[in-house]
Amino acid sequence: MLKQSVKDKLEQLKLKGFLRTAETSLDQMLTRGTSFEEFLDFCLEAELNDRTNRRIERLFSIAKFRYPTARLEHIDYASEREIKKADIARYANCEWISDCRGLIISGATGVGKSWLACALGAEACHRSYSAMYFNAISLFDEISSAITLGEIKDFKKKVCSAKLLIIDDFGLGGFTQSLAPSFLEIIDKQSQNGGLLITSQVPKRLWFEQFQDPTIADAVMDRILHRSYELEISGRSYREKIYAQ
């Protein structure tokens, strides 16, 4: 059993994983004749794992995914959905995020675009990338509120601090001309900072109609489209299965 003074020092050093493992394993490992070096290595490994898990928990808390339990290993690869495992593997490695590229997931309503976006975001968090999820209309509402309150600079900084920015259901409205410059700046900064994942059921040719100013429309679309991969989902509505989880 660990001495109280040792426990106190481990707590002060915030070595929670180390302390928990030492308390539960010390007697057993001593009985087995484990060397001090092996015991120390075992506890340090536990501490590293604990810190990794806590970091992932923090990243999930910040991301606020719509579907926090979505995981790539649970993807339905039914033939009618036309999702290829090779494509998912390509995006799962998150190199496109490191390369500051985008991913556009398109398809009809209910086919699982949002779920897949959250699953990819979850994979990014597990690989230590920060992520932030927004429904497009909610994002526009927050931009509008930040402008009104004089907090738009801080809001843009917060949004673009994420290595992966997810904008879900882009093209469904909620956009006004007064928001265009701030939205352009967010997209521009994100194109330099990390990855951008957009889902939409609206054909890309209609995205320009979101903007009254064609110059801003061209600038936004240039940053979104020219460095983005595309993934289309087909098939029946997937929403019922998602809500059953």
Query: pLDDT, tens digit, for every residue of 34-56?
Result: 787 787 888 788 888 888 888 99
CATH 3.40.50.300 holds for 64-243: yes
Residue 80 confidence (pLDDT) above 80 = no
Name the residue ranges covered by the structural domains of the chain.
Answer: 4-62, 64-243
Looking at residue 244, its pLDDT comes to 53
Distance CA(10)–CA(49), nearest Å, equals 16
> With contact defined as beta carbons under 8 Å apart, do 21 and 33 qualify?
no
Distance CA(123)–CA(94), nearest Å, equals 8
pTM, rounded to two decimals:
0.82
Residue 120 pLDDT level (bands cut at 50, 70, 90): very high
Residue 232 confidence (pLDDT) above 80 = yes
Q: What is the overall mean pLDDT for the chain?
A: 88
What 11-20 contacts at long range (C-beta under 8 Å, 24+ apart), as own/partner pairs, is 15/47, 16/47, 16/50, 17/43, 17/46, 17/47, 17/48, 17/49, 17/50, 17/51, 18/43, 18/44, 18/46, 18/47, 18/50, 20/46, 20/50
Radius of gyration of the chain (CA): 23
Token pair 């989902």 in the structure block, residue: 233
